[in-house]
Structure 1
Amino acid sequence: MSNAIQFLESMGRNPSATHMSAFEYATTVAALDIEGAQKDALLERDESVLSNLLGGRDDMRCMIMAAE
């Protein structure tokens, strides 16, 4: 798993992460061992660019087919 994804996962698990100041968030992202473009996308909070950098899908759907 990439360090960027691990970072996002840890943010999701940690409720206090939602209360980080912009400075704390930027400092945390700067300390990550990831390539510059990924850091930039995280700092800009640009999920589209980050997804492309990590090889994510452009579009994803979830469908539920009810059994007969």
Structure 2
Amino acid sequence: MANGQTKTVGGLLLRVLGVLLVVVGVLGALASLTQGNVVGMVLGVVLVAGGAVLLKRSGRAGRSGAVPSTR
């Protein structure tokens, strides 16, 4: 069973990777937009979406003591 230290490191790793994917995706999409490269723009959007998913998973949702969503 994982202890709290492992969960903290895992959450931090997901946050770092999520932010990195979002930044690379935005920069890639903007660079592709200036060149008119549709495949690059789609790849940039996919990277941003993947980074957003990682950031969402790194949050406190689902952990004990978390405040439930109001939706």
TM-score by length of 1: 0.26
Does 1 or 2 have the higher relative contact order (CA < 8 Å, sep 6+)?
2
Q: Which has the larger radius of gyration?
A: 2
TM-score by length of 2: 0.26
Structure with the larger helix share? 2
